Amino acid sequence: MAARPPETSTFARAVRAVAASIAAHPLICAPLLGALAACGFQPLAWWPATLLGIGGLIALVARSRHGSRAALIGWLWGLGHFTLGDNWIATAFTFQAKMSASLGWVAVVLLSTYLAVYPALAAWWGWLLARGSRAKLAIVPGMAASWIVSEWLRSWVFTGFAWNPLAMAALGPFTHPGLAAIAPWLGTYALSGLLVLLAGCWWAAGARGRLDAWTVALLGVPVALLLQPGHFGAPAPLSPLAYTLVQPNISQPTLDDPQFFEDHFLKTADLSGSATPGLRRLVLWPESGVPDYLRDGYPYSYYRAMTFAADPALARARLGRVVGPGGLLLTGTVDLDFRGDEVADARNVVTALDEHGTLLGGYAKAHLVPYGEYLPAREWLQPLGLARLVPGDIDFLAGPGPRTLDLGPWGRAGIQICYEIIFSGQVVDRTHRPDFIFNPTNDGWFGSWGPPQHLAQARLRAIEEGLPVLRATVSGISAVIDADGIVRSFIPRSQASRLDGRIPSAHQPTLFARWGNALPLAWAGVVLALTIALSLARCLWLPDGVRAARRRT
């Protein structure tokens, strides 16, 4: 019998060298692979890095002899992944005086030690599903199904922190949605699971150890899918409703300083400008857009503390003059709850006012930012010197959840304030579907990585819900996103400007809009069934590298 010729291709040698290095130092390579995967997120958007980082994680988990080892590798991977991806949190510590700015990176690492639990769960569950299988390839769908569930858990356990799902790496540039165009049929978390499957293709290609037709296919299919534009039709039509979206570019250090409140108001009002006489338009201001208290009934001392309005009626009247005839203002502000003359709670709200300064409704933020808008376990942490990252000692109170404001001739607005837009399946009142989502935000304390990541997650909400999203930010990036996730217009960071136009039309309710996160969980069940089928199969192809590793174990 003729001996098989050795495989000496450059591809095979390179793959084996990389695999050997990773296998020799798994606990060192795991966090590096996690950080590599985070490079697929904005602002870098290097999606091949995400596939390589996930593929490396699959390789390490597949080689693990025990579930505890797989979980440890997943945790270390997550530590590197979230430390790099959430580095913007460190910047938030530079905008307050009660805690040292040096604690910023400590906070990033501490948060990452918790968030890394979810990749650890995915790795452990994936390992368990593939354990004892004839086909070690079963670990790929096993990891994908587990990843869907773990990201879903991360979105609500302990109030949730859904920032940077893997699905963000599937987004194309502003001009097209890329592979994320299929989010209406999957949901964000199932789209993350699909990326794990695609990364598994690259792992399988490397595990084959030779460059042949199957290897080329395994390498090429993920590339073809992630490079396609994802949108081939005409742009979504525009609705008749006009908007003026304002980005005042107010610096974070002065935003909450009362001595600058009047200057901020005049700057924002001047940018809002005048509209064509008789034009019905929405004027959209960001979170923290109005420092004045607009509701009646507070003790006089609280109104007097504002730079301009010792009378809330005066504050409302001048806002009405800014929007002009036919205009309606949606702006971020703060409402207070009192017990006697003492403030009991504050609410981060969006308020709607017409040209006469009449309050037409409001929405209170439901998903509050831990350590930003409230201090968890305040009675324990405050004595230790910990404080909120934004000024004030009064914790904000959460609102009841997604709500649609019926603004009459100005349409139906779904409101999501700042951070709320990141929670897939939790942004729309499904019984009263809005015409668009308004997302006022202040990204000024998010550093340079936070704003593009925040915008990317708003694009995912637009795609999966089939609704346009209008983002008004204090200092950038403000944008108008259509229902296909295409950014129609935007204002870059650190630029004072405004956008004018007509609001893009909504699509009919998508599959995700009807089912919510039951849809990605159903997909997790489908992929789990595939895992079980692979585990029970008698004769399946095994990559050479995996077969050798199995013999060693």
Active-site residue numbers? 287, 365, 418
Tell me the backbone φ, ψ of residue 182, rounded to 5 degrees. -90, 5
How far is the C-alpha of 180 from the C-alpha of 460, rounded, in Å? 7
401, 352 in Cβ contact below 8 A? no
391, 374 in Cβ contact below 8 A? no
Sheet holding 404-406, edge to edge: 404-406, 412-415, 436-441, 469-473, 478-481, 487-491
Closest C-alpha to 290, from 451, 474, 446, 492: 474
**Beta strands 469-473 and 436-441, pairing class:** parallel
How far is the C-alpha of 286 from the C-alpha of 245, rounded, in Å? 9
Alpha helix positions (H), 98-240: 103-115, 117-130, 139-154, 183-186, 188-208, 213-227
How far is the C-alpha of 208 from the C-alpha of 354, rounded, in Å? 66
How far is the C-alpha of 169 from the C-alpha of 459, rounded, in Å? 12
- Where in 355-459 does DSSP place strands (E)? 359-364, 404-406, 412-415, 436-441
Print burial letters for 140-174: b (CB count within 10 Å at least 16), e (below 16).
Answer: bbbbbbbbbbbbbebbeeeebbbbbbbbbbbbbeb
How far is the C-alpha of 167 from the C-alpha of 180, rounded, in Å? 7
421, 473 in Cβ contact below 8 A? no
Beta-bridged to residue 345, according to DSSP, are: 337
